[in-house]
Amino acid sequence: MKKILISAMLIVMGCFSMAAQNSIVNNPDNKAYFGIRVGGNLTCPGKLTSDDVDFSLFKNGGGVEVGGIFNGPIVANFYIEPGMKLYFDTYSAKKGLVKYLTNGILNSVSVRKFGMRIPIMAGYHFDFTQDIKLFVFTGPELDVCFIGKEYDKGQYVKINESLYGDNGSMNRVNLLWGFGAGISYQHLYFGVSGGVGMLNMANTSDLKFHENRVTFSLGYNF
C-alpha cells in the first residue's frame, strides 16, 4: 500500500512539474504585438581625441524621436524587438571654447540632425501581475542621419553648412549599443534607455569623436 501511495505521489508531482515547465517555456500569455513610441532625448557627445589628447568641446543637448516597435516572443519571457524611429537631435559647443578657438570671431557653434534609427533589441520581461510587466533589453542600433547642419554664429558672421560630404566634418552613419528598461501597465509603456556610440563620427582619421544618447520614452502597445 505504501509503495502504491508513493508511486501515485511521484506521478502527480511529475505531472505538475511538466505542466509548470511547459507554461514557462511556452507562456500562453506572450503574444506578438506592435507599439508606438514617443521619446525625449538627452544627447551626450563624447570627448574629442587627437594624438592621445582628450578635450571636451561639446555640451549635452536635447532632441525628440517618434516611431514604432514590433515585439515578438521567442521562448519563456524572452523576446526580440526591432523598431524604427525618426529623430531630431541638437547639441552645441561650449561658448568659452568657441570664442577662444576662433579668437572671438564666433560666439556659438551648434549641431542639428534629422535622421532614422533602427534598433534591434533582445530582452526579457518580468510579469508582476497580468497588467504590470518590467522589461530589460539590450542590442545594436543603426543610426542614419538624413540631414545634418552646423550653425556658426558671431557678431559679424553667420554660417550654415552641411556636416557631410567632401567638405563635411562628420560621418553620416553611426552604430550604437543600446540598453535599457521599461515598465508597462496594460497597454501603456514608459521606458529609459541609453545608446553608446561605437563608430568614430569625425570625418578624419586624425580625430576621434563618439555620440551617445539617453532616451525617456512613452508608448502604447496594441
Handedness of CA 20, 23, 29, 35 (dihedral sign): positive
Residues 20 and 106 in one domain: no
If residue 2 lies in a helix (H) or strand (E), which one and from where to where?
Answer: helix 2-25
Residue 188 has pLDDT above 90, yes or no: yes
- Per-residue pLDDT, 22: 41
Residue partners of 111: CB distance under 8 A and separation at least 6: 58, 61, 90, 91, 92, 148, 149, 150, 151, 163
Q: What distance in Å separates the CA atoms of residue 24 and residue 75, rounded to the nearest whole number? A: 8
Cell of 79: 523576446
Q: Structural domain tally of the chain?
A: 2
Whether 163 has a pLDDT exceeding 50, the answer reads yes
Task: Compute the average pLDDT of residues 39-59.
Answer: 88
Q: How confident is the model at residue 142 (pLDDT cuts 50, 70, 90)?
A: very high
Q: In the block, which residue shows the cell 553611426?
A: 174
Note whether 20 and 54 are same-domain residues.
Answer: no
Q: Mean pLDDT over all residues of the chain?
A: 86
What is the arithmetic mean of pLDDT over 108-135? 94
**Which structural domain range is residue 24 located in?**
1-29
What is the band of 11 on the pLDDT scale with cuts at 50, 70, 90? very low
Confidence of residue 56 (pLDDT cuts 50, 70, 90): confident
Tens-digit pLDDT profile for residues 90-111 = 998 888 887 777 877 788 888 9
* Residues 176 and 164 grouped into a single domain: yes
Residues contacting residue 9 through CB under 8 Å, at least 6 positions apart: none
Q: Is 70 exceeded by the pLDDT of residue 62?
A: yes
Instruction: Give 214's contacts (C-beta < 8 A, 6+ positions apart).
Output: 41, 42, 44, 192, 193, 194, 195
Residue 41 has what pLDDT? 97
Residue percentage of the chain with pLDDT more than 90: 58
Grouping H, G, I as helix, E, B as strand and the rest as coil, residue 17 is helix
| Cα(184)–Cα(218) distance, integer angstroms | 10
Domain co-membership, 141 together with 39: yes
pLDDT at position 26: 60
The pLDDT > 70 percentage for the chain reads 88
The pLDDT of 140-150, averaged and rounded, is: 95
The residue that leads in pLDDT, 56 or 140, is 140
Question: 81: part of which helix (H) or strand (E)?
Answer: strand 78-93
Q: With beta carbons less than 8 A apart as the criterion, state whether 147 and 108 touch.
A: no
Q: What is the CA radius of gyration of the chain?
A: 25
Task: Report if pTM > 0.85.
Answer: no
Q: Give the domain CATH number at 92.
A: 2.40.160.20
Based on the domain organization, do 36 and 25 belong to the same domain? no
Cβ contact 149:115 at 8 Å = no
Q: Do 129 and 192 fall into the same domain?
A: yes
- Based on the fold, state whether residues 3 and 61 are members of the same structural domain: no
Judgement on whether residues 13 and 119 belong to the same structural domain of the protein: no
- pLDDT score, position 203: 87
Same domain, 20 and 95: no
